Structure 1
Amino acid sequence: MNADHKIPLMEQELPALDGIEQKLSNPHDSLVKGSTNQTKLSIKNAFSRISHLSVHNVNTALFFIRENWKSGMTQAMMNMPFILNAGNNTGGNPSAAYTSALIGGLINGFFSGSNHSIYAPTWVAAGFNYQIVQKYGYEAVPWVTIMIGLQIYILSHMKWHHLIDFMPNYVIEGYYLGLLFLIANGYIDYAFGLSDMHSNRGFQVYHDRFEMYQEFFRRGDLYYFGASIFIFLLLYFGWKINKDLPLIVLVCLTGLMVGILFPTEKCLKNVYGDVSLKLSFIESGGPHFQPDMWTLIFLFVYAIKMTFYITIQNLLCAKGAEYFTGVKCDHDKEILCVSLTNICAGIFNSIPCCASIRLIILNIRVRNMNRWSSILNGLSVILFYGLFSRYFLQIPLYFVSGILLYSAYMCPTWPYLENAVENQKEINFSQTNYNINHLCILWSY
């Protein structure tokens, strides 16, 4: 089923305009005729822009939802752990990052249609925000977020972002391999609940790795490590025995029961605290931001660094998506989208955000239908993280770590992805997405 052939509503108006055009044979009506032609062209352009989003009957709506719901929820679930951590490390409430994720998913779906993932807060944004919070308080962050969005919009008119088209593929490959190493090195301690750097106490970094591992053994976290390996082996052999058995669901429910029956277990609530979804307008609550002129100038100049980072990050995401999917990205729309997302995030009292590199791989299968996937992603943020967060917070950390290891094991290898892209084959991520779906519902809290 193709959505482009399912939406004849606006095309039905074009014959009526043709009839009007035939009646305008009088030379004096040439001006009206030109206006009619312009109207026809505008309708055609509008039809072309919304053809991937229009749902004019139940069957088309069900088709879009059926084809995209898994990818949309997977995107939200994969991003939420990083989003919550970014919210934690700003020095404010972790739920502040929810708004950016929600706005990013909806804007990316309705306006961009990109082939990479949603716009979300990142670690760089967290460190940037932390410096602002420490000096001026959290009430300054939304204003800086709006400044970043406006700066990106102004920067987009210079059109220098089109230079990304000339970047060779080996640069993209090296960039992602290096980034993968940094992510693995930075998150391996958190995967087993060993580090305090993701706690609600703010932005903390271990400067001495040796002391961290000493603390690891002193606190008895080796128990969590062994339990995580046990959960991984249980899932691994369970999948070997019966691939159709939803063993991850049973493991998650068991973890929820263990966390409720044994309140002394180290659960996700010890990591994130209060993560309820809260929407508010800028300056609507708490202390108001009352800066002087020099403070505004300083913040505007300080935001320029974040502007360049977000713009470059966004372009690298788009370039990486082109490399993996073979689908051309519209860089103008990408820049416009990330600009609009930051402006709206600031208005709704949230933090800066940019494109997320982690989820490019999930969009290989989705391709041009990523618009609806991103919209459903935004709605998933409300459903799973706004309504059911209090329950998933009871999951013990070692259950989450075991599922995380299993999901990493199930991901396709780099040579497999390269071979699939070269041969233009359809990659089946059904099993991987199924695992990641249930993993991230839990790990995100």
Structure 2
Amino acid sequence: MFFRPKILDCFSSYNKAQFAKDVLAGLTVGIVALPLAMAFAIASGLKPEAGIFTAIIAGSLISLLGGSRVQIGGPAGAFIVIVYGIVERYGVSNLLIATALSGVFLILMGAFRLGTLVRFIPVAVIIGFTNGIAFLIGLSQIKDFFGLSIEKMPAQFFPAVRTLYQAADTVNLFALAVASGSIALIIFWKLFQDRLGYLRHLPGTVIAMVVATVITTVLELPIDAIGSRFGGIPAGLPHFEWIPMSWSTTQFMVAPALTLALLGAIESLLCARIADGFIHDRHDSNQELMAQGIANIVTPFFSGMPATGTIARTVTNVESGASTPIAGIVHALVLFIIVLFAAPLAKDIPLASLAAILMYVAWNMGEWRKFIDLKQFRLPYRITILSVFALTVVLDLTVAVEVGLLLAFITFIYRISSLSRCEIADAQAYPALANLQGRIDAYRIYGAIFFGAVKLLEKIEANLPTQTLLLDLKNVIYVDSSGMDTIAELAHLCKVRKVNFIICGLDHQPYEIAQRSGFIDQLPNDCLYPDIVSGIEAVTHS
């Protein structure tokens, strides 16, 4: 079926016990999502409510329409760098346009069944840009972590470093103490969570945020809070508001929208695959992309930000006992209730504590051990991962992915071409050749004959025999159009020089492309044989 949300397949054996577990998981994830949603929005240059609104609206839509049983959608740390850059360069109104356009691209990707293609992106590229994004998230939080007096952080790496350096003497020791205490409490909670009894169900990030808020309020510490910078969070969801669009502005949002769509697709499908491993189920990647697309089209009309599948909240959802998308819907309802009844309390949340939470998220987001273990990998892998990381940090994620894919493509071609080889068939392997010395040159080709390996045939072309050339292609698994053209050129050259040309073992894909290209029809009847033995016998009896 073209459009079939996973939730429709979850009710055939659904019972009260599963519903209770889903509700409990939804409550847990909703509490976990609260500080993260606000922190992601603030770090992206938006108001904190943008993250909460996105978690509520996009989170419910992704769970309701998605192709995974347990994936939780909402704002993600991976988007921070991209969104911040769009906001700084084009403004919030154009971010809403880019988000809606990215939703259209995601729907098209799912509709054209392109979900599986995302899996073809090499691991080195994914690790490179993931670590790069994590590094930039950490860099962006230094300002609030240390309480530096910086009016606005630049989006680019070098200007950001220069701005931080120039403001290094404006450290707020109270903010630094709150941030350091928050991250210490999060780590402590993580290490000793199993010994905390019933409290172990509470996430360390929420505990750190609550404790930091209480201490800051009671002691009246002179540090920035949500209320002092953003004026608090409105109690209730925003009203639908049409996004003003015109071609003069929308055309400049196509490239940022493609970046958001690509990153959202990668992030959500990676998250869904991780979730599959936990629950031993298989997600529908194309359905998931279409759900992500719908969510990203809808949320901008309610002042939201880009959304995707979120690994940390999805894993929390699974570990809390969730088994159906009901948990994701409950998580959105929990956030909605918190906004309705507890929004005024958010004004006292210190930004230093949220910066500490994001520092912790960035550290866990990056696969830093891969950098330590780089010496275990081949040089092309090392070059790819380090290039993508450096380009993500210094230039742009889009450029980094493009260069990374190019490097991976070149590496792949080189490796496949190196696996293809050509051997001379000798009399030891085929005794019948002993009586044909000087009359026939027989070659056995292995691997693939494609544009990166046509040099194998070009070497044969440079040393043509005087009477008969035999090619055994039994061990050739793939031939592309360039390879087929090279074989045809070799056959034509043999015809011009009056050399008998014989092909043996042409089967499966090579035979199919030979038929489609018309090469088979151009060959005389006595030139094609099923194997090398019958080809040699034909030369013997000629």
The 1:205–1:50 alpha-carbon spacing in structure 2 relative to 1, beyond 3 Å, is same
> Of residues 48, 62, 73 in structure 2, which corresponds to 1:108?
62
Tell whether the 8 Å contact from 1:164 to 1:319 is kept in structure 2 after alignment.
Answer: no
The 1:351–1:203 alpha-carbon spacing in structure 2 relative to 1, beyond 3 Å, is farther
Mark the structure with the bigger radius of gyration.
Answer: 2
Aligned to 1:9: none
Tell whether the 8 Å contact from 2:96 to 2:303 is kept in structure 1 after alignment.
Answer: yes
Aligned to 2:289: 335
Matched, 1:132 2:90: yes
Q: When the two structures are aligned, how many residues end up with a matched partner?
A: 354
Matched, 1:119 2:74: yes
Measure how far apart 1:336 and its partner are.
Answer: 0.9
Q: 1:152 is aligned with what amino acid?
A: L
Measure how far apart 1:338 and its partner are.
Answer: 0.8
**Structure 1 segment 5-154 matched on structure 2, within 5 A:** 49-50=7-8, 52=10, 61-86=19-44, 89=45, 93-112=47-66, 114=68, 115-120=70-75, 122-123=79-80, 124-133=82-91, 138-154=92-108
Aligned identity (percent) is 15
Matched, 1:182 2:135: yes
List per-residue Cα deviations over 1:91-139 (Å, max 9, x = no partner): xx44334332211110122121524431326221342244332xxxx55
State the alpha-carbon separation in 2 of the partners of residues 172 and 391 from structure 1.
Answer: 42
Matched, 1:315 2:276: no
**Structure 1 segment 158-197 matched on structure 2, within 5 A:** 158-166=112-120, 170-171=123-124, 174-175=127-128, 178-179=131-132, 181-182=134-135, 185-187=138-140, 189-190=142-143, 192-195=145-148
TM-score (norm 1): 0.61
The 1:367–1:330 alpha-carbon spacing in structure 2 relative to 1, beyond 3 Å, is farther
Q: 2:223 is aligned with what amino acid?
A: K
Aligned to 2:225: 268
1:369 alignment partner, SS class = coil
Tell whether the 8 Å contact from 1:256 to 1:396 is kept in structure 2 after alignment.
Answer: yes
List per-residue Cα deviations over 1:350-378 (Å, max 9, x = no partner): 34333335545435525862513321221
Tell whether the 8 Å contact from 2:146 to 2:171 is kept in structure 1 after alignment.
Answer: no
Tell whether the 8 Å contact from 1:113 to 1:371 is kept in structure 2 after alignment.
Answer: no
Higher strand share: 2
Aligned to 2:238: 279
Tell whether the 8 Å contact from 1:76 to 1:378 is kept in structure 2 after alignment.
Answer: no
- Structure ranking higher on relative contact order (CA contacts 8 Å, 6+ apart): 1
Aligned to 1:387: 341
List per-residue Cα deviations over 1:385-421 (Å, max 9, x = no partner): 443232233244566677888999999x999xxxxxx
State the alpha-carbon separation in 2 of the partners of residues 361 and 241 from structure 1.
Answer: 17
Question: What are structure 2's unaligned runs of at least 5 residues?
Answer: 370-542
State the alpha-carbon separation in 1 of the partners of residues 98 and 129 from structure 2.
Answer: 29
The 1:64–1:362 alpha-carbon spacing in structure 2 relative to 1, beyond 3 Å, is closer
Matched, 1:350 2:304: yes
List per-residue Cα deviations over 1:242-281 (Å, max 9, x = no partner): 7349597987666444433444521422454433254121
1:192 alignment partner, SS class = helix
Tell whether the 8 Å contact from 1:76 to 1:380 is kept in structure 2 after alignment.
Answer: no
State the alpha-carbon separation in 2 of the partners of residues 409 and 47 from structure 1.
Answer: 34
The 1:161–1:382 alpha-carbon spacing in structure 2 relative to 1, beyond 3 Å, is same
The 1:333–1:196 alpha-carbon spacing in structure 2 relative to 1, beyond 3 Å, is farther
Measure how far apart 1:379 and its partner are.
Answer: 1.5
The 1:368–1:327 alpha-carbon spacing in structure 2 relative to 1, beyond 3 Å, is farther
Q: 1:311 is aligned with what amino acid?
A: A
The 1:62–1:227 alpha-carbon spacing in structure 2 relative to 1, beyond 3 Å, is closer
The 1:84–1:377 alpha-carbon spacing in structure 2 relative to 1, beyond 3 Å, is farther
Tell whether the 8 Å contact from 1:120 to 1:354 is kept in structure 2 after alignment.
Answer: yes
Aligned to 1:375: 329
**Structure 1 segment 285-300 matched on structure 2, within 5 A:** 289=244, 291=246, 293-299=247-253
Aligned to 2:111: 157
Tell whether the 8 Å contact from 2:239 to 2:302 is kept in structure 1 after alignment.
Answer: yes
State the alpha-carbon separation in 2 of the partners of residues 251 and 307 from structure 1.
Answer: 33
Matched, 1:215 2:204: no
Tell whether the 8 Å contact from 2:71 to 2:275 is kept in structure 1 after alignment.
Answer: yes
Measure how far apart 1:65 and its partner are.
Answer: 1.4
Tell whether the 8 Å contact from 2:106 to 2:265 is kept in structure 1 after alignment.
Answer: yes
